[in-house]
Amino acid sequence: MDIVTRAINWFGDPAQWSGVDGIPNRVQEHLFYSGLSLLIAALIALPLGLFVGHTGRGAFLAVNSAGAARALPTVGLVGLTVVVFGIGLTPTLLPLVALAIPAILVNTYAGVQQVDKQLRDAAHGMGMKGRQVLFQVELPVALPLIILGLRTAAVQIVSTATIAAYVGLGGLGRYIFDGLARREYEVMVGGAVLSVLLALGTEALFVGVQRLIVSPGLRQRAPVR
């Protein structure tokens, strides 16, 4: 029997749809790790990016953090935190948060920093103060890039959270590593297909959010990546 049929049979088996090792629970675990990591990363990186973009202080560090994060091997970070802190939620979330911060930080910074100088002058001319300029002008104009940063970070987190299962946590990676250990290839493929769907769903979600909340006046601008 070829692998596609076996994988379809795996999805069709009612046993996959209930219990701790069922698909609903694994998806829920995966979304929990990913959502929490994104939330923590956003809480750190968004204010920092706004600050750096608005004041221009620390721009060099912000820009270079993206390159540094790209070079760091996720598997190594997951391994390091798990060996040092033991198996648990913190060692899983720490590398995910660390790797998501630069994408949000760089794009938020770039978004605010790229705001047209004339627009800023006009805002000052209308009597706006620093904070008003930031939240009523710079932030809305920077929104497409900020959402792009969040999207990049979210997709990265959802993809990388699979690796967390290697050190014994739940989520969709469980199928991949359990399947590998038990030589059940269809289980691995099932997990792989689910994690692809989740990543693409995340991407689609953020594209939708962007359409909804970005001001119509800014839509013509092509996003920078």
Partner 1 sequence: MTWDWRWSWIPDHYDLLGELLLQHLYLAVVPVVLGLLIALPLGIVCVRVRRLYAPVLALTSVFYALPSLALFVVLIDYTGFTGWTVIIPLTIYTLSVLVRNVVDGLRSVPEHVSQAATAMGFGGVRRLLQVDLPIAVPVVIAGLRVATVSNISLVSVGSLIGISGLGQLFVDGIQRSFITPIIVGIVLTVALAVLADAVLVGLQWLLTPWTRAGRSTEPVTADPAGAATAGVA
Which amino acid type is present at position 174?
A: R
Q: Which is nearer to partner 1, 111 or 123 (CB)?
A: 111
* Distance of closest approach, residue 8 Cβ to partner 1, in angstroms: 14
State the maximum Cα–Cα separation within the chain, in Å, rounded to a whole number.
72
Q: Which two tokens stand for residue 34?
A: 């990913």
Q: Which is nearer to partner 1, 50 or 106 (CB)?
A: 106
Is 10 within 8 Å of 187 (Cβ atoms)?
yes
- In angstroms, the CA 103 to CA 157 distance is 11
* Distance of closest approach, residue 196 Cβ to partner 1, in angstroms: 5
Q: Name the nearest CA neighbour of 20 among 171, 185, 191.
A: 171
- In angstroms, the CA 100 to CA 26 distance is 22
* Distance of closest approach, residue 149 Cβ to partner 1, in angstroms: 6
Q: Which is nearer to partner 1, 124 or 221 (CB)?
A: 221
- In angstroms, the CA 45 to CA 36 distance is 14
Q: Which two tokens stand for residue 164?
A: 């967390």
Q: Which is nearer to partner 1, 123 or 190 (CB)?
A: 190
* Distance of closest approach, residue 99 Cβ to partner 1, in angstroms: 7
- In angstroms, the CA 203 to CA 100 distance is 15
Q: Which is nearer to partner 1, 67 or 208 (CB)?
A: 67
- 3-class secondary structure, 13: coil
- In angstroms, the CA 111 to CA 122 distance is 18
Q: Which two tokens stand for residue 140?
A: 């809305």
Kindly list the residues in this chain that would bind partner 1 in the complex (CB under 8 A). 3, 63, 66-67, 70-80, 82-86, 99, 102-103, 106-107, 110, 148-149, 152, 155-156, 158-160, 162-163, 166-167, 173, 176-177, 180, 185, 188-189, 191-193, 195-196, 199-200, 202-203, 224-225
* Distance of closest approach, residue 70 Cβ to partner 1, in angstroms: 5
* Distance of closest approach, residue 103 Cβ to partner 1, in angstroms: 5
Q: Which is nearer to partner 1, 54 or 156 (CB)?
A: 156
